């Protein structure tokens, strides 16, 4: 037993966002750096925003077996701050007596940077660089300090894919964005039914260079998932189009869509913003069960305070969008009341 424990202690516990390429690539980069060979599920916490507190509680139960914890691409939102009874108590429990680093680009993490640092957490935050890029830069720096100046082109490319995908706009079509879109199809398919095993397999395949070929196209064993997404997504996008409703609040046109969990989180919401950019200013994408985190985006140059609005709902984000969670499923019988609640909140923040 003791021997197993001492081996385990050398590996970090990785807590990273589970719902987009940045979070998955951030995990793969950490796994590569620490030569985490086996895909041991105990070493991995996959964070969905609608289950963020549960994810960090699970991390706290595992934490005794680790002396190092990494958090990647997770917004320290009000729900997470308040988890554990009093403000920061769950985070404090995780950080106590361990080395902990938090790589991120979200507003909530920046807002609480000082508090995290007081708890001994090393916060690596930048508004303009995604978590995977921050991790890649940090790894490059530590390699140089050890005078092992070996830039790894594969890792650099993965970080660039995450970066391009996370900062894409409606009009760009860079190859790295397209690769990110393909990865996102697999990630969305996995999240549709909380398939954390598939997310771990994907992270391991990215670590092992077994997901993409030398031109960074998906290898057949992974392409099959993207193909399945494509086969089913047409109907889901059509269903989303059929549900679109637009309301006027103050000077803003507010669009609502009711979306299949297959298109969680960015595929559905980004589709609405792109498809209806001439008809609305604010885009609310509400998801069907089991997804309980819902996305609100604004137009790219909008001055509407979308992140503060989301934070008032316990959620958060960065730039022109983010999400908030409800502790119940949105179903046809409560859809209208959720919509009314959001419209009144949007009205408050429009003034
Ligand atoms: Mn992310």
**DSSP notation for 280-342:** -SEEEEEE-TT--EEEEEE-TT--S-HHHHHHHTT-EEETTEEEEE-SS---HHHHHHHHHHH
Distance of CA 158 from the midpoint of ligand 1 (Å)? 14
Distance of CA 265 from the midpoint of ligand 1 (Å)? 10
Distance of CA 85 from the midpoint of ligand 1 (Å)? 26
Residue numbers of the chain with a pLDDT score lower than 50: 1-9
Helix, strand or coil, per DSSP, at residue 130: coil
- Closest to 225 in 3D by CA, of 261, 207, 201, 209: 201
Domain ranges of the chain: 13-218, 239-349
* pLDDT for the residue numbered 3: 41
- Reported as type and span, the H/E element at residue 142 is helix 131-145
Domain 13-218 class in CATH = alpha beta
* pLDDT for the residue numbered 9: 43
Distance of CA 75 from the midpoint of ligand 1 (Å)? 9
* pLDDT for the residue numbered 2: 38
Distance of CA 149 from the midpoint of ligand 1 (Å)? 29
Distance of CA 166 from the midpoint of ligand 1 (Å)? 7
Domain 239-349 maps to which CATH number in 3.40.50.2020, 2.60.120.470, 3.90.1820.10, 3.10.310.30? Answer: 3.10.310.30
Distance of CA 250 from the midpoint of ligand 1 (Å)? 31
* pLDDT for the residue numbered 5: 41
Equal fold, 13-218 vs 239-349: no
- Residue 351 CA: distances (Å) to CA of 5, 25, 246, 265, 296: 56, 39, 19, 28, 18
Distance of CA 78 from the midpoint of ligand 1 (Å)? 17
Distance of CA 1 from the midpoint of ligand 1 (Å)? 36
* pLDDT for the residue numbered 38: 67
What strands lie across the sheet with 121-125, from one edge to the other? 44-47, 13-17, 68-72, 99-104, 121-125
The neighbour count for residue 85, using CB atoms within 10 Å, is 7
With tokens 């690596």, the residue in question is: 124
Q: pTM above 0.85?
A: yes
Would you tell me the crossing angle of helices 220-243 and 196-207 to the nearest 10 degrees? 130
Distance of CA 72 from the midpoint of ligand 1 (Å)? 8
The per-residue DSSP string of 230-256 comes to HHHHHHHHHHHHHH-EEEEETTEEEEE
Distance of CA 329 from the midpoint of ligand 1 (Å)? 22
Helix, strand or coil, per DSSP, at residue 193: coil
What strands lie across the sheet with 252-259, from one edge to the other? 245-249, 252-259, 282-287, 293-298, 321-325, 316-318
Distance of CA 317 from the midpoint of ligand 1 (Å)? 10
Distance of CA 188 from the midpoint of ligand 1 (Å)? 12
Q: How many residues does the chain have?
A: 351
The neighbour count for residue 101, using CB atoms within 10 Å, is 18
Distance of CA 3 from the midpoint of ligand 1 (Å)? 36
Question: How do residues 123-179 score in pLDDT, each as one tens digit?
Answer: 999 999 999 999 999 999 888 888 776 789 999 999 999 999 999 987 778 999 999
Distance of CA 2 from the midpoint of ligand 1 (Å)? 36
Give the integer Cα–Cα distance in Å for 269 and 334.
Answer: 20
| 223 contacts 211 by C-beta, under 8 angstroms | no
* pLDDT for the residue numbered 7: 43
* pLDDT for the residue numbered 338: 98
Distance of CA 130 from the midpoint of ligand 1 (Å)? 8
Give the integer Cα–Cα distance in Å for 34 and 239.
Answer: 44
């Amino acid at each position: 037993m003791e021997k197993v424990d001492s081996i385990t202690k050398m590996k970090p516990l990785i807590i990273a966002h589970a719902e987009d390429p940045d979070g998955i690539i951030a995990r793969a980069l950490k796994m590569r750096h620490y030569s985490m060979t086996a895909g041991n599920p105990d070493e991995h916490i996959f964070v969905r925003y609608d289950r963020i507190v549960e994810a960090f509680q699970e991390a706290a139960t595992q934490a005794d077996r680790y002396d190092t914890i990494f958090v990647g691409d997770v917004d320290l939102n009000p729900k997470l701050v308040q988890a554990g009874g009093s403000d920061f108590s769950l985070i404090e429990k995780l950080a106590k007596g361990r080395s902990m680093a938090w790589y991120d680009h979200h507003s909530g993490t920046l807002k609480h940077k000082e508090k995290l640092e007081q708890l001994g957490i090393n916060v690596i935050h930048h508004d303009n660089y995604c978590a995977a890029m921050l991790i890649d830069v940090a790894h490059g720096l530590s390699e140089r300090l050890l005078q092992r100046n070996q830039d790894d082109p594969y890792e650099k490319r993965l970080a660039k894919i995450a970066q391009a995908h996370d900062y894409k706009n409606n009009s760009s079509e860079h190859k790295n964005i397209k690769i990110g879109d393909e990865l996102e199809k697999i990630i969305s398919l996995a999240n549709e039914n909380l398939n954390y095993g598939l997310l771990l397999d994907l992270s391991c395949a990215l670590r092992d260079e077994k997901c993409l070929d030398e031109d960074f196209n998906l290898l057949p064993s992974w392409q099959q998932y993207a193909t399945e997404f494509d086969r089913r997504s047409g109907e889901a996008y059509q269903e989303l189009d059929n549900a679109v409703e637009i309301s006027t609040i103050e000077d803003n046109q507010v669009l609502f869509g009711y979306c299949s969990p297959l298109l969680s989180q960015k595929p559905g919401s980004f589709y609405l913003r792109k498809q209806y950019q001439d008809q609305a200013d604010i885009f609310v994408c509400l998801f069907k069960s089991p997804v309980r985190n819902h996305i609100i985006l604004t137009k790219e140059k909008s001055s509407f305070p979308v992140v503060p609005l989301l934070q008032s709902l316990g959620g958060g984000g960065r730039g022109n969008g983010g999400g908030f969670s409800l502790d119940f499923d949105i179903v046809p019988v409560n859809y209208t009341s959720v919509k009314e609640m959001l419209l009144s909140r949007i009205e408050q923040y429009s003034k």
